[in-house]
A = this chain, B = another copy of it.
Amino acid sequence: MTVPSVKPERRRPAVMADVAQLAGVSYQTVSRVLHDSPHVSGETRERVRAAIHQLDYRPNSVAQALVTGRSKTLGVVSFDTTLYGPASTLLGIEQAAHDAGYAVSISSLRSLNRDTVLAAIQLLRDQGVDGVAVIAPLRAGMEALRHVKPDFAVVAVEAGPKASIPVATVDQSAGAAAATRYLLNLGHKTVWHLAGPSDWNDAEERIDGWRSVLVEASAVVPPLLRGDWTPRSGYELGQSLLKIPELTAVLVGNDQMALGLLRRLHEAGREVPHDLSVVGFDDIPEAAYFTPPLTTVRQDFAELGRRCLHILLGRIEGEVGPKRVVVAPELVVRGSTGAAPAH
């Protein structure tokens, strides 16, 4: 003979109707308690709260999303989250989103062009997200955003000034300008620039800042060098730089390339900062421990993410909001820069 179980098995989680039944009210009242509606008597409220607690009831957010049309989820499409910049920005966005009660769904691109960006946004949208932030600092990425229908909330991070959608960005030009000015003030006749790839917005903006300070100071504008952000390219371009005797100061597009360059200079017996000053960009956590510790332009990626999220949330609510939000960079002086060598 079978022993009947004492309690009827409740394997699946409790739903609103269960709570309503236990509290002796209708499901609508439960819903009201959940939303802190004023039209519930104190006593009922307590009874419902107790039932919720007892059954460990949790609202089904999928059902909520279906009926309200809001999923309380944001999408982030990003390029290479292994890099310090994008990773930190993503983290900033994500934490701000959670603080605002939103979940975050991500989509990393393997390659960055118009189609992949558009496809990623569409995928996220099909998934039901309320809005999307795009961390795709390439021209191609921004180009894609021009084709996004305006009926959907999209915000870009680090897009160029010509972007067609709202943008949160670090003032790259000001950062490069500050670094260049600082080097000139140390007595360097001019400053060379090892830039990032030309299809990256921030690379181009840094070039603008650098060049305008040189022009303003009536310094010679040396030819531009192009790397690809990797330490390897910094190392290889170091080769060319070694052949230029009058070179005393280099502004490098990011810290990784600066690392490669430092390495090449070290191998060639050039002393930094005695023979040559080097400034990086980003202030990655390792930068303070390079040989020598790197002077660099710090970007507050976390703040960038927060600002970006703020605009996005506004857009979702239908506000027009600012078209462009700018975060100020900061020059961090360490051991890789010094006075120009006496000739």
Contacts and interface: CB of A to CB of B under 8 A. Distances in A.
Given A82-B91, A84-B82, A91-B108, A256 B286 contact: yes
A289 B232 contact: yes
A244 B65 CA distance: 64
A262 interface: yes
Interface stretch (A40-48, A97-105, A171-179, A181-189): A97-105
A329 interface: no
A22 interface: no
Interface in A69-126: 71, 73, 81-82, 84, 87-88, 90-91, 94-95, 98, 103-108, 110, 123-124, 126
A289 B231 contact: yes
Q: Number of copies of this chain in the oligomer? A: 2
A91 B98 contact: no
Interface centre among A60, A71, A90, A286 (most CB of B within 10 A): A286
Interface in A247-301: 256, 259-260, 262-263, 266, 285-286, 288-291, 293
A53 interface: no
A199 to B, nearest CB: 21
Q: Is the interface of A mostly helix, strand, loop or mixed?
A: helix
A71 B81 contact: no
A94 B108 CA distance: 8
A103 B103 CA distance: 12
B235 A263 contact: no
A126 B105 CA distance: 15
A32 interface: no
A309 to B, nearest CB: 14
Nearest to A284: B286
A229 to B, nearest CB: 10
Interface in A109-152: 110, 123-124, 126-128
Given A260-B289, A263-B293, 12 more contacts: A62-B128, A73-B105, A81-B87, A82-B84, A82-B87, A91-B108, A106-B106, A231-B286, A259-B289, A259-B290, A263-B289, A266-B291
18 contacts: A62-B66, A62-B71, A81-B90, A82-B84, A91-B108, A94-B106, A94-B108, A103-B105, A103-B127, A104-B105, A104-B106, A105-B105, A231-B285, A232-B289, A234-B289, A256-B285, A266-B291, A286-B286
